[in-house]
Amino acid sequence: MVPGMVPITIEEEMQTSYLAYAMSVIVSRALPDVRDGLKPVHRRILYGMRESGFTPDKPYRKSARAVGDVMGKYHPHGDSSIYDAMVRMAQSWSMRVKLIDGQGNFGSVDGDSPAAMRYTEARIAKAAMFLLDDIDRDTVDFQPNYDESEEEPKVLPAAYPNLLINGASGIAVGMATNIPSHNPGEIIDATLALIAEPDMSLDDLMKIVPGPDFPTGGIILGRSGIRSAFETGRGSILIRARAEIEDIRRDRKAIVINEIPYQVNKSTLQERIAELVRAKQIEGISDIRDESDRSGMRLVIEIKRDATPEVVLNQLYRFTQLQTSFGVNMLALNNGQPQLMGLKDALVAFILFREEIILRRSRFDLNKARDRGHLLVGLVLAVANIDEVIRLIRASPDAATARESLMARDWDAAEIEPLLALIHDEGNVVIDGRVHLTEAQARGILELRLQRLTGLERDKIQAELNDVAIRINELLDIIGSRPRRLEVMRDELAIVRAEIAVPRMTEISDVAGDQTDESLIEPGQMVVTITRDGFIKRTPLETFRAQNRGGRGRTASGRRGDDIITRSFNAHTHQWVLFFSSGGKAFREKVWRLPEASPTAKGRALVNLLPELGSDSITTVLPLPQDETMWESLHLVFATASGNVRRNRLSDFRNVRSSGLIAMKLDESWGDKGDRLIGVATCRDGQDVMLATRLGRCIRFQISDDTLRVFAGRDSSGVRGIRLAENDEVNSLAVLHHMQADVAERAGYMKMAVAKRRTETTPEDGEAAVAEIEAEADGEEGVVATSLSAERFAEMEQGEEILLTVTNGGFGKRTSAYDYRVSGRGGLGIANVTLSAKNGKAVVATLPVLHGTDVMLVTDVGRLIRVPVDQVRITGRQSIGVTLFRLGGSERVTSVFPVLEDEVPETDATVEDATIGSVEASGTGIQEIGIEPGTDSNPDTEDGDDA
């Protein structure tokens, strides 16, 4: 072993060395000091530039000069690290209050690199001078630099809480800091308030400082994260860009971003949005362009015509850095130790530091004032004894002898004794009324110019001495009184506030950050329209302005070809709509998610809105009540082609996945292609369900727990609603009012109703209808019609519902719902229409119709006709009906739709929630499309219409 060497283990050496390295990184590099809010590199830059004269009152100097001075004297690291720190202090989007005044290219918010240090110029910003003021008045301690050739300050005598105003971020060994910036005016106000009331609560402080204030602006969502950060030093703050939706062209909207979250790269953000659009993760964006200039930021995101800007904006918040979180970790060095501090802790630490600065500065100034006062006392004594002073000086061979002669002589203290008490000077000792001059006073006398011996100059000496006396007493008061020091601190903070206070840039919103898309949608009433070809859209109700009676209305849809509107309803933007497919699946969408379009637009295909629909077709669309508490009292009744029915609570469909939900279990082995869902309707206890089949049968039964119970789940195929004959299937479902009349009353009503209509039709038609009704009498023999009173007839007429039945042969009839008796569930049912070779082999649809509405008949070769239902005669159940559509050859009617008017009456009336399952329309006469020229389609001219 070498003499003088002590063996140690490698583990011990590694532990010791690593801890030393870690503490060096923590204290000397990565963490800011709570007192001046600066890291060593920033502190050295500011001090080095001050020492080199790069102050605000001097011209700009090359950045390379400042970097070289700092690197050569104070910071023994690479020039790039110094220049990067210097650049950041000159960037307005990085610092809430800039500390470096730069000239040239110092980068951009897009992440562009600054120009090389040989091209840029810089000097200290005015705000940074408040951090450096009084540094030469013994306010802070100095330490040797890395080679002990210079001295550098351990901390700057900051005049304002720079740590909170400009924030800081850094990663040390085993710890990190991330402090947000705050509004300088608010922080100084909070400091003043805390000086005045040291016991101030955090809640009171947050009334002054509501939260961080970032240099890039933006919106802070919620206050819980701010509260946590201010109280514990840790918290997460959600920041959102400031965006507006603007009309850029007549039919185009755009999202305009004016402010982005702190530390977000605008160029990277733009690229990220483009990537999401290419990946189809965000749809509805047609173009992105950056229109930012010197006047401010402007990032324009153009929206497609059929997209909802609010939804696109919320998707951008969710998938991009337009909304980001700032993790607050207020870790700083306090007395050389890393400490996690809240808002009040940081302010208290600054106040204590600033008080120490004032105290040390006052002591320094006091010593200077006393030295000056001591010198002035000697001058006063010399002026009072000027002849003796001149004699001594002239008699001395040199300056040293003259100084000793002045100090050796006893002088009369009558002139200076009061002055010594005035300035609290203990340098001269008065003994028996005599005093000796000190060396400093003797030197001052020897340096006295002859012009100071004039009377005016003697008065100036006395005045200066009085001023020094006042200053000394003020300094003694500051040193001896803490309230006086705090008063000085308040005055100085007020001066700083007047220089650096600026308006708040970041808005603080009470809205929670995890809001849904719906929260961005402005509430309002919409008119939703659906066409036969499966196009859907919504249009704001206010688009249809009020018109006087007799107006032409407004076009409600820009249809393609022979497409027609089959459904329209008013709904609130936040209202749910249920879609049911033939395959038994349920889909649910909010009204605001439906594509918004102008009254003349065609809308968007449902298959694009519901991609999981597949090859199925939508059989039912149900707008649900906006008040979800009503869902508990509403039920849904399902019907399938196989004749099964099922009743469920509407609340069972409260949670529907975006991919859809199995609404009813279907028998895939039934028929050739399996069972299918043919209809869904809302219902309540006591109403009636009517099922109609393809071969002309129907059944009507009441909804009750005995006949059709409420099923607990959705995985059931239901119960039998009607027993079908071979090759028959259910094709229509209707929910009717329960019939509160017996067989005799119904027969009596129908006779009286036919008699009433005789005046509106030909006598032959009326008599034929009466004969039909008397012959059917609900299929029950011996039924005698009851004669009804006028009141009872009017009551039944008011509640009468009319059903339209259309066959594939183009025939149709209207029948009173009173003609369909209520029976039990699961039976064979009763006749709905008599089918024959003349009127067709199958029923296409049976549906309730309202007075004044139209229906559209479509054939298998694409022809269609629009028929007002009022032109279809009301007859008995078993009639064959009248001709609605003259068909050719093997042509057959395949579908029937209720038609809503293309000219929607415009109104500004308040719209109530849409009635579940209701359709309102009005007719304007027969409109036939696709009929060959010369073809007569008037059913009144058809021969053999009646049974």
Q: How far apart are CA 876 and CA 179, in angstroms?
A: 84
Say whether 119 is catalytic.
yes
Residues paired with residue 528 on neighbouring β-strands, in sequence order: 538, 569
**Contact between 205 and 343 (Cβ < 8 Å):** yes
Half-sphere exposure of 456 (CA within 13 A, CB side): 1
Half-sphere exposure of 927 (CA within 13 A, CB side): 12
Q: How far apart are CA 403 and CA 890, in angstroms?
A: 140
Cβ of 247: how many Cβ atoms within 10 Å? 9
Report how far Cα 575 is from the mean position of its chain's Cα atoms.
21
Q: Tell me the three state secondary structure of residue 679.
A: strand
Q: Do you know the residue count of the chain?
A: 947
Q: Residue 305: CB partners within 8 Å, gap ≥ 6?
A: 251, 252, 597, 601
Give the closest residue to 880 by CA, choosing from 808, 828, 937: 808
Taking each helix axis as running N to C, give the angle between helix 63-73 and helix 79-89, from 0 to 180 degrees, rounded to the nearest 10.
120
Angle, alpha carbons 361-365-370 (nearest 5°): 150
Q: Residue 134: CB partners within 8 Å, gap ≥ 6?
A: 157, 357, 361
What is the side-by-side order of every strand in the sheet holding 882-883?
843-849, 802-807, 811-816, 882-883
Tokens of 432: 């028996």
Tokens of 723: 């027993």
Half-sphere exposure of 76 (CA within 13 A, CB side): 9
CA distances from 555 to 213, 284, 307, 551 (A): 51, 26, 22, 12
DSSP assignment letter at 296: B
Given the DSSP bridges, would you call strands 576-581 and 411-412 parallel, antiparallel or unpaired? unpaired
Q: How far apart are CA 207 and CA 192, in angstroms?
A: 14
Give the closest residue to 139 by CA, choosing from 349, 358, 347, 367: 358
CA distances from 485 to 421, 572, 577, 945 (A): 24, 64, 70, 110
Give the closest residue to 434 by CA, choosing from 416, 446, 422: 416
Q: How far apart are CA 891 and CA 906, in angstroms?
A: 39
**Contact between 898 and 855 (Cβ < 8 Å):** yes
Give the closest residue to 565 by CA, choosing from 931, 920, 926: 920
Which residue among the candidates 21, 119, 749, 818 is catalytic per the annotation? Answer: 119
What is the side-by-side order of every strand in the sheet holding 927-929?
893-899, 854-859, 864-868, 927-929
* One-letter amino acid for residue 319 of the chain: F
End-to-end CA distance of the chain: 128
Q: How far apart are CA 882 and CA 943, in angstroms?
A: 9
Cβ of 252: how many Cβ atoms within 10 Å? 14
Q: Which residue has the tokens 């201010």?
A: 230
> Would you state the torsion angle of the CA atoms of residues 358, 362, 363, 365, taken in this order, to the nearest 10 degrees?
140
3-state secondary structure 352-378: HHHHHHHHHHHHHHHHHHHHHHHHHHH
List phi, psi (to 5°) of 206.
-75, -15
Q: How far apart are CA 452 and CA 463, in angstroms?
A: 13
Catalytic residues: 119
